[in-house]
Amino acid sequence: MLHSALKTWKNAATLIVTSNKTPPISVKNCCNETYNVLMLKRSSKSTFFPSAHVFPGGNIEESDASSKWLEIFRPFVSDTQKLYQQFVVHQNAKERSPMFLQATESTSDLPREISYRISAIRETFEETGILLAKRRHVNTITTLNQYGDVLDLKPNEIEYWRTRVSNDANEFLNMCIEKECAPDIWALHEWSNWLTPAHMFTKNSKRYDTMFFITCLKSAPVYSQQDSKEVTSMSWESPCVTLKAFHQKK
């Protein structure tokens, strides 16, 4: 109780989405990277890092940890224990991120290694229209994937569900039930954990403890579109080009 009272930040999840480049690699690529990274430009009206170029992500929602997700994942794993074994990492407290070491609020909640992945996938869908998910009876999951699966939906279906999920995070679970799919949590790999630096935090600003995941796609999705609310533009850029633009203060 005391810990909750003293806490001055919100938990969040972010997803670094990369995609293989279509050969041949451009000579303009200063570092000869073979992949691009999805970058989003935040709205100038945003209360947190306005106009900044960021990765998709956002707040953790209660529905992301709902035990109802176990029914969604059941067709892909033999039992709940096996699912937990694939994701829950047991490390010394000095080595493991505090975000995962903290006890969940309820014994019925999913482990954070799973719920935070769901959150990152949901936020990516809301902001970009890219849905990392697997259909039932198509793939049998046994190990973590090298590449993420993007569910092939018609643009009008994507926009319909994006609106619903943006208005109510619970709708993400309902969408997966209706479309008979599951978030491709197997394609997300832990990258890093960042807490907004204290010197950037003021009385009227926000602070986030964010878990960063990374996923790789074989190719950029056929359809993707910024939500034009939180995000005003999006692009696939090589890390070299992105870093160069940052140093040039673009």
3-state secondary structure of 55: coil
Query: Regarding the domain with residue range 12-19+27-247, which homologous superfamily does it belong to in the CATH classification?
Result: Nucleoside Triphosphate Pyrophosphohydrolase (3.90.79.10)
Report whether pLDDT(19) > 80: yes
159: CB partners within 8 A, 6+ apart: 129, 225
The pLDDT-based confidence of 2 (bands split at 50, 70, 90) is very low
3-state secondary structure of 116: helix
Between CA 34 and CA 93 the distance in angstroms is: 36
Alpha helices in the chain (DSSP H): 2-6, 69-73, 80-87, 98-101, 112-128, 155-167, 170-178, 239-247
The pLDDT-based confidence of 234 (bands split at 50, 70, 90) is confident
> Residue 126 corresponds to which amino acid?
E
76: CB partners within 8 A, 6+ apart: 134, 136, 139, 140, 141, 182
The whole-model pTM stands at 0.86
**What ranges do the domains of the chain cover?**
12-19+27-247
Handedness of CA 96, 102, 103, 104 (dihedral sign): negative
pLDDT digits (tens, 9 = 90+) for 60-86: 999 999 999 999 998 888 788 888 888
pLDDT digits (tens, 9 = 90+) for 96-150: 777 777 655 555 578 999 999 999 999 999 999 999 999 886 655 556 678 999 9
